[in-house]
Structure formats: C-alpha cells, structure tokens
Structure 1
Amino acid sequence: MIKDNLREVEERIQSACERVERNRRDVTLIAVSKTKPISMIEEVMKEGIIDFGENKVQELNQKCEEIKTELNWHLIGHLQRNKVKYIIDKVSLIHSVDSLRLAIQIDEEAKKVNRIVPVLIEVNVAKEETKYGVAVEDTLSLIEEISKLNYIKIKGLMTIAPYVENPEENREHFRNLRKLSVDIKSKNIDNVDMDILSMGMTNDYQVAIEEGATMVRVGTGIFGEREYNKGE
C-alpha cells in the first residue's frame, strides 16, 4: 500500500511541477509520520524518502533513538518552550516558530550544544482562531527581531492552510504566503533566507506546489487514513 501511495504522490508532485514549469528537484516531500509505527516509516525509507515530519517532541525523540539511519527530522507541530531542549540536537528544521519567546528559547538551547538551528516562521495566513502562527502583518517585525539571535537561522515560512474539500479554496492562502516571502526577501535582512516555503498537505499539496511550495507535508496520502489531519 505504502509503495503504491508514494508512487501516486510522486506522480502528482511531478504533474504539479510540470504545470507551472518548475523543476521537481525544487520540491521536498516530507512524510508526516506522526502516530505511525517504525515499521511503516521503514517502508517509506525503502522508497528513498529521508525527510519525516513529527508533531510531538516525545515521539520524535523515540523515533530518533530507534531508527539508526540518518534522516532529516522536521518538527512541524506546535513547540512548547520547555520542550525545546529535548530536540535541539535532533531536528533538521523546526517549522513552527511563531513568537520571539520561543525563538529566544531555541537560541539559548542551541548555544549550549554549539549548533545553529534552522527554523521557519509559522504564519497564520488564513487567520484561523484555532491555528497557531503569527499574523501576516506582524511577520516582518518578528523576523527582524529573531534575526538578531546568534544560534538561529531563518530559512523561510510555513503555514497550515484550512482543511477544505476543494483544494482551490486554499490557493489564495498559498499565494499570499509566497507574496509575503518575496516581500521579506526584498528587505535583505541579515541572517534571513526565504528559500523555503513549507505549505500544502495531503488534500492540497498540488495547489501549493503550483503556488511555489518548496516543501509539502504529506501524511495520509502516504500512510493512509488516520484519526486526525492537523499539520499534514
């Protein structure tokens, strides 16, 4: 099942890239492996996937310990400040930085292990009250503050779009995140890149790619249905 699912996801990513004349190599597929057992992750690994997304710190840690192969682990869920220390030396990228207080905590813990941690700023583009993320209008000022920290590197932006039946309904949100990214890049802020746009999940990643996503987070589309879809 997983092999077939991955083939289908890959075909859809390729098709989306072709529609807007993008190179397939410019899009990273993150397999959202939260709640999934090691055996299923290993099946995905056999197909050449090395990027995996987790929502919870404890689960990410456990999987890091059990899987000896070097993988790129992405923390895509909300990160509490008191849990930063547990993943600071394990994650390849933190997608969910949405406050200066969290960024300062990451910076402090990263200093202890002498590591510059790459992060994305999570933006609540759709203005959903139930979602985390900084407001669009506050994103630039937050980035300017975080950029002053020594052990954090801002690599781009992330958003979790609303869950919708028709993916086209999220096109505007993806387009707005892309526009925000371009605007911020034009400011040429030290210690800030806008190379990554993490947007698009199982139900809308093709639209996200068409609007410029460089990372898509796909869980259900790879592993099958689960109880909830938040963050994937």
Structure 2
Amino acid sequence: MKVKENLELIQNEINEHLKKSPYAQKVNLVAVTKYVSNERALEALDAGVQHFGENRIEGYLEKKNLLKHVTMHFIGTLQTRKVKDVINEVDYLHSLDRLSLANEIEKRANHRVKCFVQVNVSGEASKSGLKVEEVDAFIETIKDYNHIEVVGLMTMAPEQATDEEIYSYFNALKALQLKIEALKYENVPCHELSMGMSNDYKIAVECGATYIRVGTKLVG
C-alpha cells in the first residue's frame, strides 16, 4: 500500500482510540524509517508525515540531510562515545537511559536537547532503560543540566506481552509521568509520553501516549 493510505488508516485508528482515552492529548506520529529506502521516506514526507525516527547514527544523519524541514527523532540506544557525532543534529532523543549518557550530552551539546527518559517498566532483561524505582533519583540528578530538557518518558512493551500486560505497563508509565510533571522542574516539564509501536500503538493512545513510533504499518 501507499504510505498515504497507511497514514489515513493509522490516523483514523488513533482518533477512534483517543475516544477511549481519559486524557486529552495530541498524538504525534513518528515514522520509523530505518528499514526503508530514501524513496519510501520521501513518500512519507509527501504524504504529510512531519516526524521521522532513526536508531542508527549513519541512517539518522542520512535521513536528516534528505528530509528537509521535519522533526528528527533519535530512537535507538546511543553509545556514550558516539554522542559527539550526532547530538547537535538531534531534535528529540528517545533513549536517555543512564547518567553517563546525560553527562556526555551535557558536555557535547550546543543546544538544549529534548529528551525522553527511557524506563524499563516491564523489567524485561533484554530491554534498556531505568528501572521504575530509579527514575526519581535520576531526575533529581539531571534536573539542573543546561543542555537537557526532559520532555517526557519512553518505554517499550515486550513483544510477547498480552494486551492486558501492555495496558498495565503503559498505564504505569503514565502514572510516573504525571508524578514527575507535578514536580514542575524548569528543565523537566515531562508533559510527553513516547510509547507504542506498530503492534501496540492503539493501546498506547488509550493510555496517554503523545508520541507513537510506527514503522512497519506505515512505511513497510
């Protein structure tokens, strides 16, 4: 299918599931283009997509150079030693998951980087991210960093999780986001939630997601 047709289908599903959400949020769709050609990415741009996500530095920089006047999201794990290679090209980072990375961003960035703190809500061993009980102390440590703005939290549900489990994980992240938002730290507005991919974005929307990261179902 053409990206435009996929986009219309996804937008309709977002709108339907927003009706089931207790939160009045705007949902931003991030097109994950890591496995598709430049032509397919340009097709997504022509269809009206304005947010693009990549998880490798090379692919990120290539897409940023290709796609003009869009918002670029680095959604993969960022190695500390690679921060200098990409951080000043990043609009949003979805994977702030450790203090060493925060310190390197603070050292290398020439602008305030909008970051999602990655939280491993499910406790899955193969997933990156802070444990839920580690988040408060992490926020306290970085809240006065000049080059980091914690715009929100991010998580990924396990691939084999049931719908019931996914609801539980996403609702837990929403509760944590609201708790941090209530602190009203200047550099930690924490209004946003990045959660939900091709297989579970509808649940994420119901649970308060403001950014969903969709690859396969949108661009293939």
Q: Same fold (TM over 0.5)?
A: yes
Q: Deviations over 1:92-143 (max 9, x none)?
A: 1001001111001011111xx3x11111100000001000000000001001
Aligned residues of 2:42 and 2:67 also touching (Cα < 8 A)? no
Aligned residues of 2:21 and 2:208 also touching (Cα < 8 A)? no
Tell me the residue number matched to 2:207. Answer: 211
Would you say how many aligned residue pairs link Structure 1 and Structure 2? Answer: 219
Percent of aligned pairs sharing the same letter: 37
Amino acid at match of 2:105: I
Q: Which runs of 5+ in 2 are unaligned?
A: none
Amino acid at match of 1:82: R
TM-score (norm 1): 0.90
Q: Shift of residue 51 of structure 1?
A: 0.2
Work out which of the residue numbers 106, 126, 129 in structure 2 matches 1:130: 126
Counterpart CA distance in 2 for 1:135 and 1:32 is 25
Q: Which secondary structure state, in structure 2, belongs to the residue aligned with residue 89 of structure 1?
A: helix
Amino acid at match of 1:92: D
Q: Which secondary structure state, in structure 2, belongs to the residue aligned with residue 127 of structure 1?
A: coil
- Does residue 121 (structure 1) correspond to residue 117 (structure 2)? The answer is yes
Q: Shift of residue 64 of structure 1?
A: 1.8
Amino acid at match of 1:137: E
Aligned residues of 1:75 and 1:93 also touching (Cα < 8 A)? yes
Q: Shift of residue 173 of structure 1?
A: 0.2
Work out which of the residue numbers 192, 212, 220 in structure 1 matches 2:216: 220
Aligned residues of 1:32 and 1:54 also touching (Cα < 8 A)? yes
Superposed CA RMSD: 1.5
Residue correspondence of structure 1 range 134-153 to structure 2 within 5 A: 134-153=130-149
Q: Shift of residue 169 of structure 1?
A: 2.8
Residue correspondence of structure 1 range 153-232 to structure 2 within 5 A: 153-164=149-160, 166-224=162-220
Q: Shift of residue 190 of structure 1?
A: 3.5
Residue correspondence of structure 1 range 29-68 to structure 2 within 5 A: 29-65=29-65, 67-68=66-67
Q: Which secondary structure state, in structure 2, belongs to the residue aligned with residue 193 of structure 1?
A: coil
Counterpart CA distance in 2 for 1:44 and 1:197 is 23
Q: Which has the higher contact order (CA 8 A, sep 6+)?
A: 2
TM-score (norm 2): 0.94
Aligned residues of 2:80 and 2:104 also touching (Cα < 8 A)? yes
Counterpart CA distance in 1 for 2:23 and 2:179 is 21
Counterpart CA distance in 1 for 2:22 and 2:178 is 19
Tell me the residue number matched to 1:92. Answer: 91
Q: Which runs of 5+ in 1 are unaligned?
A: 225-232
Q: Shift of residue 22 of structure 1?
A: 5.3
- Does residue 81 (structure 1) correspond to residue 77 (structure 2)? The answer is no
Counterpart CA distance in 2 for 1:17 and 1:131 is 28
Tell me the residue number matched to 1:72. Answer: 71
